[in-house]
Amino acid sequence: MPRRIRPAPPIADRFWRHTLGTHPFLAALPADDQTRLRLLSGQFLQEKEFHGAHGLVVNDTMALAIAAQACLPLLHVVRPDGQPLAHPLQALDWYDDFVGIVVQPGAALARREVTDGAGVVHRYQEALAGEAMDRGPVMLAWTAVAEAPTVAAHGTNVVIHEFVHKMDMRAMPRGQHPDGAPPLFKGFLDSPSDTAARQRWRTTMQKAYAEFREAVALAERFGGERPWLDAYAAQDPAEFFAVTSEAYFVNRERFTAEFPPLRELYDGFFRFSAAATP
């Protein structure tokens, strides 16, 4: 049965109230958005499979907390092909390339290998609070997920971060690295063509990314004031998009003050109107 006519399983009132009560940035949403988020979250829970690692048991409260935050970026988007939604549940098309969500008790250690300009291979381990795999599962560290209510003031949210990566990966050729530019189409911020839409995005993002990298460099090398957001955003354009998207959804006021050009850009992509923002 197509998703648009398949009824989403109901979420018990007590679970939904608990989720809103423990996540102020969700409770601050307008009532209509909360209703839409509840619908999306129920369908998300029906379609995805949660797997606890290292003995962790993912209970209903944990799964719903992840689902609600994962669906927050989908509240007002168009479909991945640029078409408007015939039904709100079609927004979940953005996440239809995977089923599994692996929840670790704490940070996961990933083995990395990079080759420098001289051809020397460097191997190291990296502690991950989350990871989104192209056409594969999403991994989340529960310790980081559980911090969401308290770290929102810092613009931080690991669930939103990883699921925005998934949106970034939608048009990415297999084996490539996301570049911080999700699928964009004619009409994005009144762009006359797909090409113009993508150019508008890249021009705005490149400038903001370069300014952020400079601020991080000044702080690290010369003792300048540290940027508000995590310096991890300076790693590459994809991480910059994911990190700034976290802030856009959980601390819109501070995000707007720090990144005025990105506010308009993200409003255009995520389709949040001024009346729908907390």
Q: Say whether pLDDT at 114 is over 90.
A: no
CATH 1.10.472.150 fits 3-276, yes or no: yes
The reported pTM is 0.90
Q: Say whether pLDDT at 277 is over 50.
A: no
Q: For 69-79, how does the pLDDT look when each residue is reduced to its tens digit (9 = 90+)?
A: 999 999 999 99
Query: Could you tell me the two tokens for 48?
Result: 């995805």
Determine contact, residues 264/255, Cβ cutoff 8 Å: no
Confidence at 6, pLDDT banded by 50, 70, 90: low
What average pLDDT does the segment 33-44 reach? 96
What average pLDDT does the segment 31-38 reach? 96
Least confident window among 94-108, 144-158, 251-265? 94-108
How confident is the prediction for the chain on average, in pLDDT?
A: 90
How far is the C-alpha of 201 from the C-alpha of 240, rounded, in Å? Answer: 13
Q: Which residues pair with 126 in a beta bridge?
A: 110
Q: What is the pLDDT of residue 257?
A: 97
Q: Say whether pLDDT at 2 is over 70.
A: no
92 vs 119, residue with greater confidence: 92
Q: What is the pLDDT of residue 224?
A: 86
Q: For 207-262, how does the pLDDT look when each residue is reduced to its tens digit (9 = 90+)?
A: 999 999 999 999 999 998 999 999 999 999 999 999 999 999 999 999 999 999 99
Confidence at 274, pLDDT banded by 50, 70, 90: very low
Q: What is the pLDDT of residue 78?
A: 94
Q: What is the pLDDT of residue 278?
A: 43
How far is the C-alpha of 70 from the C-alpha of 43, rounded, in Å? Answer: 12
Q: Say whether pLDDT at 61 is over 50.
A: yes
Q: Say whether pLDDT at 130 is over 50.
A: yes
What average pLDDT does the segment 113-117 reach? 59
